[in-house]
Every structure is written in structure tokens, then in C-alpha cells.
A and B are shown apart, each in its own frame.
Chain A
Amino acid sequence: MSDPASGIVAEGAAEPLLSVRGLTVGFAGRGGVVPAVRGIDFDVMANEVLCIVGESGSGKSVTALALNGLLPATARMSGTIRLGQTRIDTAGEEALRAVRGREIGMIFQDPATTLNPLMVVGEQVTEGEVVRGDLARTDAPARAVELLEEVEIADAAGRAGQYPHQFSGGMRQRAVIAMAMAGRPRLIVADEPTTALDVTVQAQVLALLARRQAETGAAVILITHDLGVVAEVADRVAVMYAGRIVEIGPVDAIFANPRHPYTAALLQSIPRVDAADRRLDTIPGQPPLPGAFPSGCAFHPRCALGSARPRCAADDPALHPVGGTAAACHFAEETAPPRLPADPRQSREIAGATEAPLLSIENLEVHFPIRKGLLKRTVGHVRAVDGVSLVVRAGETVSIVGESGCGKTTTARAVMGLVKATAGTIEFEGDDITHKSSAALRAVRQRMQYVFQDPFSALNPVKPVEEIVAEPLRIHGLYDEVGGKQRIAELFDLVGLSKTMFGRYPREFSGGQKQRIGIARALGLAPRLLVLDEPVAALDVSIQAQILNLLEDLQNELGLAYLFIAHNLSVVRHISDRVAVMYLGRIVEESVKDDLYEGALHPYTQSLLSAAPVPDPTRRADRRRIVLAGEIPNPAAPPPGCSFHPRCGRASAVCSRDDPRKARFGDTRTLVACHHAGPLGEPVGQVAAGGVR
């Protein structure tokens, strides 16, 4: 370990494929240049996967763009980037164009916007090769089909002539991968390639990326905020914070023995799909944004080790080898090893478990008509919610988890009376609210409030936050009755905000603070039930932990019940008492949290759980992953019988004929809707459709 660049360079390596030294990127603005990346070094070998992890503002995406010379005109860059013998940092536009596509392929985050909406997919996939002269225009259509087949797009010949909007999100990302791989590049840079995808589709796309990487021997730089994904795919990991690499090393060492306090804290702050319940260790404060990086070590204000030490506030530490990694910390030797999940909690016994339910949903259906033709006749229905029954008791958290389009949000909106139920009943406090008038519903909503997913757009930007929190009280005419300004101050205090912030506007708050404001607004009327629709999905990892802990505290303090809607299985496991899994408008399995996570009985739940990335690289080898074939069918035309049967490994003749009813499985606490329900691994049928990997 005498090499000072250990960890920066992979061990025992020959010549690196990519070598970055002293990379600095800033953006010219009115007040001068705002630094985004502040001097980073790393190498990538051929056939290696390097993950760059960080929260918003860490500079990870800017680094990705710099590698390909794609920074905007306002960027100011210094340092060297060497790809093989080519200097990228000094290359002109012509030379860069020769590198792009042919040497470096890029995959971006949001497949909804990375493709040109007005050009057919096949043409976009081969466009680079055609323009570079590597492919004759007449051969392009056949090549497009070949490329789409390589990324496992069914009916590639038909799909090549379609437009991006005719593709699902997962298919679009496959097409983007095909495009990035078309020129057989030596390096692939993927910036959050699966963040916008569902967990089962994410598993498909990551498996595809791994397969194509193995086939071509390309190096991959994968940029992500998801430590689960990192543990699944990385060979080495670089952790970025405030424009610096604060730690870099082999994936096992980073996860088992992180030497930088930030890495350690990040690993402690994520809820895990595979671990028993514990309170999350949060990192105080929020990740700094470019332009406001603290002095010295940028992490020191949030650091358990360094917050009180003058050296941390004064000197910015350089990366140096510590243990198995290289860390940029003055006191890296003191970083405590990550703890195993502390004080595991068993499922809570809910006081009100035997009382009458607070919220009771019975056979809820929400169908949206599809109208077509000259007279807009109704030709069918999208069965967004198709017979959902669920009970929430006072003080408990019930989660609905599922992939996009499964109907979880529509269920929540129907509960709030925001969409009309087509059939079924919704009872709140024993009172049937399914068909109440909006005036009557308004009274009910005093005790049932909604928290929205996106804190960035859910708050009125032209109102001060005090007004935003007071608004529900004013609407219900209770502002003075409950104590006016005094009550607003209490609410701010309750969610961890200061009343000195009263006059400020939403744009002055970070995402986590905005979500706190959203929660304060919902709590104003002293509700008994909060409907939380993906409340942490848009937040950074360290902020997510803060909000989850806040929700837990509020529940204990105020006896709130939560109906929690989410797609993130780890978050759901952490927060819930009971969990219902939805697929195509129905609940396929419902149980007490730990029973569901430890002994799922429905094949869909099992594949969902197996697809969720676990932030533990040592488990990579022994994990059985069921990669589901295909995608969620169109809810306007669900398959007959059990709607999951076309993708199910256990499906038999009965499954395509009879729709299974949700029923208790044996003497368990689990309700499951499957003809072949049973624990994973028992001889209940052949392996899953996609094969067990």
C-alpha cells in the first residue's frame, strides 16, 4: 500500500482505459465561477465497473458529462482526461465527435426524454453509425433490428419503425442502451440509468447492461445515488461529496469497512429490504449545493467526527490510503465500522388492532372509460383499481406497494375522494364516504389528509410558507379557533422547522424542508389518517432518512394512522406495520410486514423482492434473482384468469382460466390471491419465466 494513488488505480492493473487527474469543473455565473467538481482523480480499467455514488449537488453528473466533452458552454474545466492515448480535455469538437459514440457510449437517466419524440427509434439507434460513415444508409434498417434484438426487445423488426412514445419506459432504456452500444465503445458512461424505472424493470436493465458489458469487454462508469444498485454491479466505488471524491476503493471494502465518515453515515441511513427494523441513523443537515460548499472538509458541518475539530473546518483533506480504500478524511482511522442493524424491533403491537377500523376499503373499483371514434363512444375501461379491499386501523401504517400503473396512487386518490369510485365502498370512522358530496367530504377531510409526492411542485410558489401551512385551517374556518399563529408555530416545531422561517417562500427551502412543510400543512387539522403518496421518492438518501424518522416520531406522538403509497420496497419495509402488494389494479398479497418480507407467498411478491437491490456486495453471489419476463400488461385489457399468469413461473392451466380470490394461506397472517401460493423454493412448479439467476 505504498502507492499514494491506491484505490484511485485498480490494483495489479496495467494501463488504465480512462485516466482522470485533477478534474475541476465550474460554471460561470453572475457572481463568478461556481465550482461543481473540485479536483478529482480516478482511473477505470477495461472490463471494469466503477460506480460513482453521491447525492444531489455532489458533482457526479457533471463528471459524467465532462468525460465526453458534453459540458455546457458556461462550464469552465481544467485537469486532464485521458482515454487510451486520446486527450479528451484538450480535444476540439471534431476530435470529440470521433470519440463520442465510437469510444464512449452514454446512457442517461430519464428514458422519457432522452429520445427524440419525432424520430422512429430504429433510425435513432443507428444514426450515429450512419453519420460517422460506419454504416451504409441502406443497411441501417437491418442493423437497427439487430441492435434492438441484442437488447432483447421483442418484435424488434416491428418496434424499429415505432416512435419513442409507443415504447414503455423499460423498452426505451433498452433502446438507449442499444444506441450507446451501437458503435462498440470501449467505455460506457451511464448516469442514473435505472432511477426512473420500476424495480423489476431495473433488474432487467441492469442484467442486460451487465451482459452487454461482458460480451463487449467495455468498461462501465455507472453514476447512481442507489447504494443497492452499487452493491449489485460495482467492482470499485467512488463516493462523491461536494465536488470531491471523498472515498474510493473496491466495492467490498467500501461496504464492509468504509473509512470516510460520510460513506459510513450514508450506509447507516438507508432502510434495507433484507434487514429487520431499526431506527435510521440520519445525517444532520442537507447535502450542500455548488456555490455553498463549506470550508475545509466540506462534510465537516454534518460529520460526527469532525464537526467540532478546527482542523476539519480549515484544511481540505486529500485522498490517502486507509485500510482497504482511499479516503479524504483527517481522522479516517477513527471512523467507526458500520454497525449491524441496531436494536431490531419486532412488529409493533398496535393498540387499536381489535377496534373497529379507521379506514375500510371494500371491493373498490375505479375504472376510467376509453372513448373512441366519431361519437366518442366508450369502447372499454382502464381498470386502474379492480376490486381492492384493505383496512387501516387507528395508529398503524399500512403500505400499498407496487410498480407504476398498478393502481396504488389511484386507490389513494379514491380514498381522498379525488377520483370517483366506480364500485365498492370506502368507510372512514364507520361512515360510508364513497358517494358523499364534496361539501360533506370537506368535513371528513379534516380527519384525513394527503401528503404529495413531489415537494417541489406541491407548494404554491407565491405564498409564504406560514400561509401555506395555515391554508387548510382557514379553509375549514378553524384558524382562530385552534390558536392562529401560535398553532402554526407549533406545527413548524412538530416537523422540525423554525418559526423564524414563517415569511419565506417555498423556493428558499430544500426538498426535505419542503416535504416537512407539506407534512405540517397536513397535520394542521389534527387528522387521524394521513395518506402519504410516495413522500420520500424525490428526496436524497440522507434526507429520506430524516423524513422517515419524522413520520415515525409523529405517529408515536400523535397516534396517526398512515396509508403509505410507495414503490421502494426498502422504505416500505422500514415504515410499515402491514403491507399490501398491488399488481394490475388488485392486491395480490397482504400481510404483516415481516411475514411478507421473510416469507412471501405470491410469485409476484417473490420476484419483486428478489429484484430489489440489497446494499451488501457479499450477498451478490448467493442471491437468487427472479428476473420477470415482459412488462406489466395494459390495464385496459388485462389477461384472463389471474392477471399475472403470463409472466408467472408457476402458472398452470387453471391460472389462465380462473381468477384467484384473495384468501388466508394456511394458518399464516397472510392473505394471498394465487392458485399456487407458497414459499419460494418449495417444489410448487417450474422455475420462473425469466429463469432463476
Chain B
Amino acid sequence: MTAYVLRRLAQLVPVLFIASIGIFAMIYAVPGGPVGIMLGENANQAEIDALVHDLGLDRPIAIQYFDWLGSAVTGDFGVSLHSREPVIKLIGERLPATLQLAAVATLIAVLLGIPVALASALHPGSWLDRMLSGWSALALGVPTFWLGILLILLFAVELRWLPSASRYVPLWEDPLEALRHLIMPAATLGVYVSGVLARFLRASLVSQLGADYVRTARSKGLSRGRIVRVHVMRNALLPFITVIGLMMATFIGGAVVTEAVFTYPGLGRMLIQAISTRDYPLIQGCIIVMLVIYVAINLTVDVLYAYVDPRIEYS
């Protein structure tokens, strides 16, 4: 098991290395480069040359890259061009907010998705099944910004129960206040993803319910409830781990629209702002952090598999 995890970690090194080259090269992909952005359009050649020298941009690219990589590995992604603050500090402020949103949204998606999937898989073709699959289609089809705005109109504007602009309040500091701020953006994301999860799990459950071992279990005289609980659920949830992992991963960077609607201080929104202001160090830092989290989630999923499924050998 340990050897398996170590080998998977070792496999990440080349992946991250190749990705880092791409991220580093971004800075050269833009007309004017960082200097043009920093000095604006009216800078004279002397100013440009001075800044190029200050930033070390006149050194060979390979040296610049390894210099940058060396800093990045220690968490030093440079200073934001826009706010002049260290990138790592900016990310450090936003990352907990994003992780908290992702976790709560995933929880909501799972709590909604599993019962829906179970109810429809156990009665395939019934009115319940059709209603629930209609619901999951709706959950998938409704754009998140629209659902978000509806929620704000109802709970913040009409009922005035919840704040319309969400702040980040750590759950462990003030759980109630944190939930007041989290519940709408998390529900917006969670409802959407619960549609995906429900559809996926329903298919998985239906195929497991038709498996030979279910027939064997029935021939032993087990009740339907026990067969579903003890035999089918575990088998059906195995592939579900992958989907949950993928969903969580997309929440890290992909919740931009939801974060924007609720003005939630997440990583995704900061990345979008950094792109619009061409704040290259910040963009690079955000992408690297997202990449690492994404890769870490994938690794966790694989390790979890090896742990849950006795058929997978760790070697």
C-alpha cells in the first residue's frame, strides 16, 4: 500500500514538471509580455530596458525558468502586479473559502443525489422514477447563474433570511454564520451536480441490481432491503467515488459563475480577475495551486479505490 502511494506520488513529478513549463511559458504568450503590462503603452525604451533587467528577463530562458520553478516549489510565486502583495498570501486568503464551498456543495450533491438515485433505481419505469429523472434533468439543465439569482431574489431580497453577498466565514469559527453565507452558493452548485450524480448512480445501481450475485443473495432468502443495503450499495458506490472526485475537482476552479453571482471570495473569481488585469504571477500561482489540488484529489480517489475494492492490488 505504501509502495503504491509512493509510486503514484513519484508519477506526479513528471506531470507537474510538464505542466509547470506550460504555466511558465504563458508569460511569453502575450503581446508586450509582463513589462508591457507593468509600464503601460507609453513607456520609453530606457524604462523598458531597466525593468527587463530588474526582473531578470534578459537572462537565458532556461535560467529564468529554473529560477521561477525553484521559487514556486517553495511557495514563492512572486508578487501580484496589481495589488503588489505576495501571490501566495492572496491565494492563502482565498483557498480556504474555496475548499469550504467545495466541501459543502459536494455534501449537498451527495445528500440529494443518493436518495434520488436509490428511489428511481429501485422502481425503474415507475412514475417516481420518471419524476425523479425529470428532476435530475432539470437540475442539470438550469444554468447555475439563473438558479443563483432566483435564490438571491427569494431568500435575500424577498424573505431577507440570507445575505445576498456571501462572505467567507470559517465553519469552525461561527458555524451558523458560515452556513448563512455558504448555503446559497453551495446549494446552487450542489443541486446542479446532484443531477449528474443521481443519473450516474441510478445507472450503476440498475446494473448492479441485475448482477448475478443479487440473484444468489435472493436465492438465500435475503430481504430486498438487506440485498440493497449490504450487497448492492457497496458495489454501486465504487464507480461513484470517481465521479465525486471529479466533481470536487471542478468546484476548485470551475465555480467561477457561482462565485461571481454571490460575490463569494473564492479562488476561481480571483483567477478571473487576475486574467482580466493580466496579473501574470497571480494567474500562474492560481493555476499551479488548482493543478496540485486537482492531482491530489485524483490520487486520493485512486488510493481510496485500492482501499475499498479488495480486487485491486496495490502493487
Determine if A70 and B315 form an interchain contact, defined as CB atoms under 8 angstroms apart.
no
Count class of interface residues, chain A: 35 or more
Interface residues of B in 16-43 (CB under 8 A from A): none
Is B146 interfacial (CB-CB < 8 Å)? no
Determine if B235 and A106 form an interchain contact, defined as CB atoms under 8 angstroms apart.
no
Determine if A119 and B231 form an interchain contact, defined as CB atoms under 8 angstroms apart.
yes
Q: Mask for A103-125, Cβ within 8 A of B = 1, else 0?
A: 01110101001111111000000
For residue A98, which residues in chain B have a CB less than 8 angstroms away from its CB?
Answer: 221
Determine if B220 and A100 form an interchain contact, defined as CB atoms under 8 angstroms apart.
yes
| Segment from B3-11, B180-188, B241-249 that makes contact with A | B3-11
Determine if B10 and A374 form an interchain contact, defined as CB atoms under 8 angstroms apart.
yes
Is B63 interfacial (CB-CB < 8 Å)? no
Complex-state Cα separation, A97 to B311, whole angstroms: 31
Is A163 interfacial (CB-CB < 8 Å)? yes
Q: Closest CB-CB distance, B202 to chain A, in whole Å?
A: 17
Complex-state Cα separation, A117 to B308, whole angstroms: 11
Is A101 interfacial (CB-CB < 8 Å)? yes
Q: Closest CB-CB distance, B14 to chain A, in whole Å?
A: 15
Q: Which 4 pairs of residues, A with B, have the shortest CB-CB distance?
A: A128-B220, A100-B221, A106-B219, A101-B221
- Complex A-B: 27 CB contacts under 8 Å: A70-B219, A93-B224, A97-B223, A98-B221, A99-B221, A100-B219, A100-B220, A101-B219, A101-B220, A101-B221, A108-B219, A113-B211, A114-B212, A115-B216, A116-B216, A117-B213, A117-B311, A118-B309, A119-B231, A128-B221, A131-B220, A131-B223, A163-B310, A179-B220, A180-B219, A375-B7, A376-B7
Determine if B315 and A100 form an interchain contact, defined as CB atoms under 8 angstroms apart.
no
Q: Mask for B107-149, Cβ within 8 A of A = 1, else 0?
A: 0000000000000000000000000000000000000000000
Instruction: Contacts A373-B315, A374-B6 given; indicate if A116 touches B222 (C-beta within 8 A).
Output: no
Q: Closest CB-CB distance, B96 to chain A, in whole Å?
A: 34
Q: Mask for A367-401, Cβ within 8 A of B = 1, else 0?
A: 00001111110000000000000000000000000
Determine if B310 and A165 form an interchain contact, defined as CB atoms under 8 angstroms apart.
yes
Is A68 interfacial (CB-CB < 8 Å)? yes
For residue A118, which residues in chain B have a CB less than 8 angstroms away from its CB?
Answer: 234-235, 238, 308-310
Residue of A nearest to B7 (CB): A374
Is A252 interfacial (CB-CB < 8 Å)? no
Is A552 interfacial (CB-CB < 8 Å)? no
Determine if B311 and A163 form an interchain contact, defined as CB atoms under 8 angstroms apart.
yes
Is A569 interfacial (CB-CB < 8 Å)? no
Complex-state Cα separation, A176 to B222, whole angstroms: 15
Residue of A nearest to B224 (CB): A93
Q: Closest CB-CB distance, B161 to chain A, in whole Å?
A: 44
Interface residues of B in 266-315 (CB under 8 A from A): 308-311, 315
Is B82 interfacial (CB-CB < 8 Å)? no
Residue with the greatest number of chain B CB neighbours at <10 A, chosen from A105, A110, A128? A128
B interface majority secondary structure:
helix
Interface residues of A in 81-97 (CB under 8 A from B): 93, 96-97
Complex-state Cα separation, A116 to B3, whole angstroms: 28
For residue B217, which residues in chain A have a CB less than 8 angstroms away from its CB?
Answer: 116, 127
Is B53 interfacial (CB-CB < 8 Å)? no
Residue of A nearest to B215 (CB): A70
Residue of A nearest to B3 (CB): A374
Is B226 interfacial (CB-CB < 8 Å)? yes
For residue A372, which residues in chain B have a CB less than 8 angstroms away from its CB?
Answer: 315
Residue with the greatest number of chain A CB neighbours at <10 A, chosen from B219, B223, B238, B311? B219
Complex-state Cα separation, A179 to B219, whole angstroms: 10
Determine if B221 and A97 form an interchain contact, defined as CB atoms under 8 angstroms apart.
yes
Residue of A nearest to B6 (CB): A374
Determine if B234 and A131 form an interchain contact, defined as CB atoms under 8 angstroms apart.
no
Is A132 interfacial (CB-CB < 8 Å)? yes
Q: Closest CB-CB distance, A635 to chain B, in whole Å?
A: 18
Is B59 interfacial (CB-CB < 8 Å)? no
Q: Mask for A587-627, Cβ within 8 A of B = 1, else 0?
A: 00000000000000000000000000000000000000000
Determine if A127 and B220 form an interchain contact, defined as CB atoms under 8 angstroms apart.
yes
Residue of A nearest to B309 (CB): A118
Interface residues of B in 190-238 (CB under 8 A from A): 211-213, 215-224, 226, 230-231, 234-235, 238
Residue of A nearest to B124 (CB): A73
Determine if B212 and A70 form an interchain contact, defined as CB atoms under 8 angstroms apart.
no
Complex-state Cα separation, A105 to B218, whole angstroms: 11
Is A102 interfacial (CB-CB < 8 Å)? yes
Complex-state Cα separation, A566 to B308, whole angstroms: 38
Complex-state Cα separation, A426 to B6, whole angstroms: 42
Residue of B nearest to A125 (CB): B220
Complex-state Cα separation, A371 to B315, whole angstroms: 8
Determine if B221 and A108 form an interchain contact, defined as CB atoms under 8 angstroms apart.
no
Determine if A113 and B221 form an interchain contact, defined as CB atoms under 8 angstroms apart.
no
Complex-state Cα separation, A373 to B220, whole angstroms: 41
Out of A119, A132, A176, name the residue touching B221 (CB < 8 Å).
A132
Determine if B6 and A116 form an interchain contact, defined as CB atoms under 8 angstroms apart.
no
Complex-state Cα separation, A68 to B219, whole angstroms: 7
Complex-state Cα separation, A281 to B224, whole angstroms: 48
Complex-state Cα separation, A606 to B309, whole angstroms: 41
Out of B7, B213, B224, B234, name the residue touching A115 (CB < 8 Å).
B213
For residue A119, which residues in chain B have a CB less than 8 angstroms away from its CB?
Answer: 230-231
Taking A70-B218, A97-B223, A118-B238 as given, write out 6 further A-B residue pairs in contact, using a Cβ cutoff of 8 Å, ordered by the A residue number: A68-B219, A99-B221, A100-B220, A105-B219, A113-B212, A165-B310
Q: Closest CB-CB distance, B210 to chain A, in whole Å?
A: 9
